[in-house]
Structure 1
Amino acid sequence: MRIFPIGFIIILTTSVVLLMGWQLSLNDTFTLNLTSLLQPNWLSNNSIKLHLTWWPRVFTTLICGAALAVAGVLMQQVLRNPLASPTTLGVASGASFSLMMATLYAPWLIELSYSFVAMAGGLIAMGIVFALSWRRALSPTIVVISGLILNLYFGAFSTVLLIMNQEKLAGLMIWGAGSLVQTGWGNVAYLTPRIIALIIVAFLFVKPLTLLQLSESGAKSLGVSLTKLRIICLGVAVLLTSLVVATVGIIGFIGLAAPAITRLIGVHRLLPKFLASIFIGALLLTLTDLVIQQLPDLMSIMVPTGAATAALGAPLMLWLLPKLAMRSQTHTETVLTRHSEQGRHLSKYTIWIALGSVFIGLFIFSCLSIGNQGWSWIFTTGNWSVLEWRLPRLIAAILAGAMLATAGTIIQRLSGNPMASPEVIGISSGTALGVIVTLFSGLSSSLAGMYVGGFIGALSSVSLIILLNRKTGFQPEKVLLTGVAITALMGAIQTIVLAGGDPRSYQLLAWLAGTTYYVTNSTLIPLAIATAISLSIAFTCHRWLDILPLGETSARSLGVNVSRSRMLLLFLVSGLTVSATLVVGPLSFIGLMAPHLARLLGFSRAKEHLIASILVGSTLMLFSDWLGRQLLYPEDIPTGMVASIIGGLYLMWGLRKL
């Protein structure tokens, strides 16, 4: 390794050692506190506290950080995606969902073994992902998409359960954010031998994993069994993640941040990357936890370490991003984003039929609904006043679905990354962060005030993306990593807010899940204007969207100014996302799913892909908004949650075509 990576690790190590030394010198003498690790004074409360809580917590953070870092390196290497992380396969969300279900419907399982329930949920999630991608020999693209679908499903159901059972699941929110509070050496004794054994297994596969940097045909010609290698390596990564999640909760960002930081500081060979990631993951998690322990009163317990790690690690990633080496876009090109000459043609007749179907759906869903007396048809009841609040919600759902689908199509074609979506580039997260700060800082609780706060947050995200990427020509991988860091920061703050138990947090949760509840006629007109302008601009840029996925060199040879076109498309995606997010919340999965669904229907050329994505996104949102108000009447399920469930069903069915 070069000087800078070693120096960076030394700085992290020094920071951890100094903070540990300072905490050990607060009560009694430093020597006595240090000896409490092995020989505690059972007559001293401070010595007992250090021996049974502080020291186990330090060792737990070191072990868990190293485990998650190794899991992250394995997943990014096997899936060949810089955004892959231990949460990619749905392990963390599966564990969280299984605990929610057990808490509500089988509490005896929690009493039997809390860790077993969480680990079982994680392993079941892994099994589902493997089952969905088995026919394609665990192809990286199929595994990534399967994991994303599973995450959406577990997230959707978990959010519905949380909204409907706020008090029962309040404590689980703290665990779900990663709480490292210890009451003895039991977790250390349980984790250490298992994690060390799995890390040794991971190191045994360094050489064949290195060959994965070649093409699949190249790796096979050298005698590598890709299916077996993927099963073993992904299995090791999932087991590492499951052990950590079952013991201390969800601390997923370390698995993404440690390999990313390792790559950003200039470590690219696999063996040094493993070693550097282990040190960085362990030290970053420990440093964060030591800082949390210095918070006053109950804040040190209530602020979850997993969320705080993202809050501290995200700015660190942003600081290191200027060092990211340039890569050709063809390195991240996938079957989901590659141009195809055999794409299906979308005729004008088909477009008009699809648009007519959307309007017919709008008419039916605005007139048909369930109420206190059962199903009712507005023509028979004559209650025309309900249209005043039904129509704005349904129309807003259509417009928001169209804008988010367009934004998702552009960013996936621009980046060549199947995991890209409006949320991943950080615009939705910036908007949500602005709303959170406005609401909980007391600046404003009105709808207009939240809109202003969200717009400022979105502008801040766009400015940060432009500032960090302008000099490198808006290189796709770097833009995505910038967005991931911003998203992680927003997610951390959101998790801390939800774990705090503030009643306003559940109103915020419904908005974040994608509800159209707050839409009125006054917000609908600006949304319609923004939609018309943005979509018109998007269709004028369709030539760029056909050329840019071919790679930077090919695009320049065809006369495209790559840096300028990328910047303009990024601005367009920002405008589309901001307009939709401010009205209906960050429905990023529409931007993720609609382009995939359109491609599964056979549309790969940019213009047809855009039209099909818009129609799919609009229809999905329209039906989801109506269905969310009928399923559990009078409860209102957020539109985003329903859309993720419906769209995910078709995605899973369509994976066989990829």
Structure 2
Amino acid sequence: MSRARPEAPGAERSLPPNGLRAIALTLLAGFALALVLWLLAARGLPWPALPWDPQTMSLDQILLAYGLAPRGVIALIAGASLGLSGALLQVVLRNPIADPTTLGISAGAQLALVLTTILAPSLLEAGRWPVAMTGAAAAAGLVMATGARRGFAPVTMVIAGMLIGLTASALATAVTLARGEYLLSLVIWNGGSLVQQDWSGVRALLLVLCCAAVAAALLARPLRVLSLGAAGAAGLGLNVALVRLLAVAVAVTLAGAVSAELGLIGFVGLAGPAVARLLLTRLAGTALAAPRLAGPRLAGAGGIGGLLILAPVTGALILSLADGLVLSLARQTGEMFPTGAVTGLIGGPLLIWLLPRLRGATPPGQEAPEGVLPRRPRPARLLVALACATLLGAALLVWIGRVPGGWAVLDADSVRAFLPMRLPRLIAAAAAGAALALAGTVLQRLSANPLASPEVLGVSGGAALGYAGVIFALAAPGAVALMAGTMAGGALALALLLAFTARRDMPPERVLLAGIAVSALASAVLSAMMATGDARAFRVLGWLSGSSSGITMAPALALAGTALALWAAALAAGRWLALLPLGGPVAQGLGLPLTQARIALIVLAGLATGAATMLVGPLSFVGLMAPHLARRAGLARAADQLTGAALIGALLMLAADFGARMAGFPYELPLGLFASLIGAPWLLWLMTRPR
């Protein structure tokens, strides 16, 4: 019997004819459905005769020829552009969860366009493209610089991208809220609108896509060599830095062009390559075409070439289907939603469904170790010092303030006058920070992932969705209903993660990817809600930024009591939190009721996040910062880290509340946005500093 000859490293196997036929039929069926949806939207509009001349056409003919037709075409081109951009980023970074959204590239373009629109509109005279490209390139440069310090490890890259994206989105939202005359147009643009008035956008994006496709074809062979690993590729004479730079430049150009022309369209660059891999695997019956960090090459059916060809096609299909659904809804209800908001509604559940089926797609973690962190022999002294610092800080913030003439220390009469207004917000801010820190500590120990937090794992997004749902469902929702909605939303988001983590021990990257999917789904629903222009939508938008200015003593004390109860419950689960980081099998072998413990801790983290999100919104990173600070301070035991993180979270949020009140005096900045502006740059510095 003949023996199969081993395949050369880096070689790619061709797809069998049956697999190619199955892939083609599947894609044709999807595009046929997208075409049917488009034809239904065009039903009743008269088709103009060629050649088109607007002077001789009716209004309905112009609407079809210069509105609906270019819209259908640009959906294909933009989807293909984002699919190719995501595939290039995933291949060159060997990271299956990289795309323009998770790496902050789209948020950088958003910030540049928002700032230019409001602060320097004259710069837009040359068009939006240069501005968007500059912002996208700046964000990509920051992410790449951060990743280079850690060997482009997947979780480091994604968390750096999310931090940069959060900072950019926080700045853009703060500036947008400050200029109400631009609010509605910017909200709609941020959602990603495919509305077209002529064919100019189609021509521009098509030119960019064609040039990028040629560049990707030229880069395919160097990328195949790079899949051997940076050291192996350099040993074969490849200029690794140049190949990475060129591939990222092509990906950033594609993402920036789409953002400039259409606004923010998220998730297509992540879902397109994921669907492409699934097709290459399940339909062709061969090895998975996915980057392997631990393996010597990018293996699988069709390899890099197959992924770079198929990802643009699947990206085009996803965005076309999303736009077809938007057009169908608009015809039925008369309400036109931005298509970019709907892509998350499709992509989020799709990626969640794909996660269990992407066996082997997520490589094992290659994060460089942090070394041995300090462990205090007597942590009680530090905890007492943190408690005293929290009380002293709150007392100082009561006495210190700004007046029109500058800074001032209030006298006793002024303190008595301002105390009823200032004390509730200080209590609420400290309680919200403590609750977020408790949730972050629980999640990090539960998932054994040091980068887990309510913001990263989609818990805050779920809580925000619960808040918005109560706003839209009830005519006059009270504080109790709103808090119940936010808590239920946070717990539901974590329950979705439980559906995957309870089945098998997932690597941190897979859990992170699930959190990104949940966050994208929540963000898409919120964007769709706000794009309607309803008065309730603007209430949600204002709340998303976070503010403690209107809180009274009763809700503040209720939030403080909730934080204390959650802290006590977390301490009671201290043994679980000490055993879970050892891994599921080890914890279960030591007598831990694994399923019950996970469910209880997920509910606990969801409740804590929901309670805090009521005040600060979903944009704070306190839940990620505080546990890290506590651990680096030597608080290693579960109970010590919980208590220390809660106190540090309270201090951070007190500082954020003070900064939000004073930085823009006499106007007040949103609390949650200010907290994210403090936290995200600090974490970026922490990730890039030498060990």
Task: Name the TM tier (shorter chain).
Answer: 0.7 to 0.9
1:438 aligned partner: 470
Moved more, 568-577 or 62-71: 568-577
Secondary structure at the counterpart of residue 119 of structure 1: helix
String of CA shifts for 1:39-65, please: whole Å, max 9, x gaps: 679734344433322222222111111
Q: Which of these residues, 642, 645, 654, is aligned with residue 677 of structure 2?
A: 645
Tell me: CA distance 1:437–1:235, structure 2 relative to 1, closer, same or farther (3 Å).
Answer: same
Question: Is 2:52 the partner of 1:18?
Answer: no
Distance 1:215 1:545 in 2: 37
Q: Given the superposition, is the C-alpha separation of residues 352 and 248 from structure 1 closer, same or farther in structure 2, using an over 3 Å criterion?
A: same
> 2:429 — aligned with what?
397
- 8 A Cα contact 2:45 2:64, kept in partner: no
Is 1:406 aligned to 2:426, yes or no? no
The answer on 1:522 being equivalent to 2:554 is yes
Partner of 1:532: 564
For 1:569, the equivalent position in structure 2 comes to: 601
Q: Which residue of 1 aligns with 2:10?
A: none
Alignment CA distance shift 1:424-1:501 (3 Å): same
| TM superposition shift of 1:119 | 1.8
- CA RMSD between the two structures: 3.7
Give the match for residue 175 of structure 1.
189
- 1:262·1:276 contact (CA, 8 Å) conserved in 2? yes
Equivalence for 2:346: 312
Cα–Cα, structure 1 residues 467 and 651, in superposed 2: closer, same or farther, change >3 Å?
Answer: closer
Q: What's the counterpart of residue 27 of structure 1?
A: 45
Matching of residues 194-205 of structure 1 within 5 Å: 194-205=208-219
SS of 2:197's partner is: coil
Change (3 A) 1:164 1:62: same
Q: Distance in 1 between matches of 2:665 and 2:264?
A: 33
Q: Which residue of 1 aligns with 2:376?
A: 345
Residues 598 and 13 from structure 1, CA distance in 2 versus in 1: closer, same or farther, beyond 3 angstroms? farther
2:12 aligns with none
What are the superposed Cα offsets for residues 344-394 of structure 1, whole Å, 9 maximum, x if unpaired?
Answer: 537332232222111110111122222467544344434414322322221
553 and 636 in structure 1: CA distance in 2 versus 1, 3 angstrom threshold: same
Q: 1:581: which partner in 2?
A: 613
Aligned residues: 650
* 1:597 positional shift: 4.7
The answer as to 2:106 corresponding to 1:102 is no
Percent of aligned positions that are identical: 35
Structure 1: which amino acid aligns with 2:386? A
Are residues 599 and 455 of structure 1, via their aligned partners in 2, closer, same or farther at CA, if it must alter by over 3 Å?
closer
Gaps in structure 2 of 5+ consecutive residues? 1-14, 283-287, 291-303
Matched residue type, 1:57 = R
Q: 2:253 aligns with which of 226, 230, 239?
A: 239
Partners of 1:364 and 1:577 lie apart in 2 by 27
2:272 aligns with: 258
Structure-2 change in CA distance of 1:39 and 1:637 (3 Å): closer
Aligned twin of 1:493: 525
Please list, as runs of the form range in 1=range in 2, the aligned pairs for 1:355-504 lying within 5 A after superposition: 355-371=387-403, 375-415=407-447, 420-467=452-499, 470-472=502-504, 479-504=511-536
| Matches of 1:420 and 1:321, distance apart in 2 | 18
Question: Quick one: structure 1 residues 603 and 121, their matched pair in 2 at CA, closer, same or farther if it must change by over 3 Å?
Answer: farther
Write out aligned runs for 1:213-292 (5 A): 226-263=240-277, 266=281, 268-270=288-290, 271=304, 272-292=306-326
Q: Do the aligned residues in 2 keep the contact of 1:198 with 1:236 (CA within 8 Å)?
A: yes
The 5-angstrom pairing of residues 38-187 of structure 1 reads: 43-45=56-58, 46-133=60-147, 135=149, 140-187=154-201
Deviates more, 1:388-397 or 1:319-328: 319-328
- More displaced stretch, 619-628 vs 631-640: 631-640
Offset at residue 481 of structure 1 (A):
4.1
Amino acid corresponding to residue 546 of structure 2 in structure 1? G
| 1:565 CA displacement | 4.6
Match of 1:193 among 180, 195, 207: 207
Shift of the 55–583 alpha-carbon distance from structure 1 to 2, 3 Å rule, reads same
Deviations 1:504-535 (A, max 9, x none): 43432232122223433323344334323433
- 8 Å Cα contact 1:70/1:255 also seen in 2: yes
Residues 344 and 331 (structure 1 numbering): CA distance in 2 closer, same or farther, change over 3 Å?
A: same
The one-letter amino acid paired with 1:280 is: T
State how far apart, in whole Å, the 2-side matches of 1:548 and 1:232 are.
42
Partner Cα distance (2:311, 2:66) in 1: 28
TM-score by length of 2: 0.82
Of residues 618-627 and 634-643 in structure 1, the stretch that sits farther from structure 2 once superposed is: 634-643
- Give SS of 2:364's match: helix
User: Which string of whole-angstrom CA distances, capped at 9 and with x for unpartnered residues, describes residues 179-216 of structure 1?
Assistant: 11122222222222322332343344456656777776
Kindly state the Cα deviation for residue 165 of structure 1 after the two structures are TM-superposed: 0.6
Structure 1, gaps ≥5 residues long: none
Per-residue CA deviation, residues 460-518 of structure 1 (Å, 9 max, x unaligned), is: 43444445654446775555444433322321232233334344434322321222234
Partner of 1:334: 367
| Matching residue's letter, 1:43 | T
Conserved? CA contact 2:491–2:602, under 8 Å = no
Q: Is the 8 A contact 1:174 1:304 kept in 2?
A: yes
Q: Which amino acid aligns with 2:317?
A: L
Give the direction of change, closer, same or farther, for the CA distance of 1:207–1:534 in structure 2 (3 Å limit): farther
Structure 1 Cα separation of the partners of residues 636 and 73 of structure 2 = 51
